[in-house]
Amino acid sequence: MNKKVEVQDLGHNDYKSTWDYQEGLFKSVIDAKIKNRRENSNLETPNYFLFVEHPHVYTLGKSGDFSHLLLNEEQLAQKGATFYKINRGGDITYHGPGQIVGYPILDLENFFTDIHKYLRLLEEMIILTLTEYGLKAERSPGETGVWLGVGTPFARKICAMGVRASRWVTMHGFALNVNADLGYFDNIIPCGIRGKAVTSLNVELGIDKVDESELKAKLLKHFIALFDAVPQYKKGVL
């Protein structure tokens, strides 16, 4: 089993080009697995962890409801946003500046073969990171992602998740609101969940801006510990 994970920070990048890049890595890992089985070989399959921050964009998962986007094409253009129907699980979500997005592209056969455990560990990574900022973050029963104020009238989501997996290889991932413009969430029914708010780390801390480099380091620290991974750093290539 290969526990090495190549970490790339892609900085600020267009959603579609990043999606295409993800798809290429995802396919390369699957192709390597198929080749191994066809040739009865035992070559290592790679793992990746991508950090990125996107321009304003709304994405709808494969089982999502298009009516949860509350803007037409003209209104999207006015807000400088784009829209994509994509191949992850989950409903509609927003990505934009001030939001840290993570795309782990892992061969889970290098770690464990349990997609539910995978999602719970991603949530735990976020929960442990937010604990370092003095926040009590939690799971909300029946709702993937990470929340604050669970079980109260003030429940609010701070991190959305949606993944795709094939042959135990993952793609897509999580979106953590760090210094996000929360007004963009008013244009959707986030994750298809009505009546619950969305928040951002800087709002919860009552400050103008959270240090995003520091936050990514904390996320990666917890990811490495939870997955027993060995990080290898590579400059983003997009």
Residues assigned a catalytic role: 191
Give the residue carrying structure tokens 């890049």.
21
Pairing mode, strands 197-198 and 156-166: parallel
CA dist 238 and 170 (Å) reads 20
CA dist 43 and 40 (Å) reads 9
Report the candidate in 197, 165, 158, 194 with the shortest Cα–Cα distance to residue 179: 158
The separation between CA 193 and the C-alpha centre of its own chain, rounded to angstroms, equals 18
How far is CA 27 from each of CA 49, 68, 164, 206, rounded to the nearest angstrom? Answer: 15, 30, 12, 42
CA dist 159 and 174 (Å) reads 7
CA dist 80 and 192 (Å) reads 22
Kindly state the tokens that stand for 217. 């380091």
Please provide the distance, in angstroms rounded to a whole number, between the alpha carbons at the two ends of the chain.
Answer: 28
Q: What are phi and psi of 77, to 5 degrees?
A: -65, -40
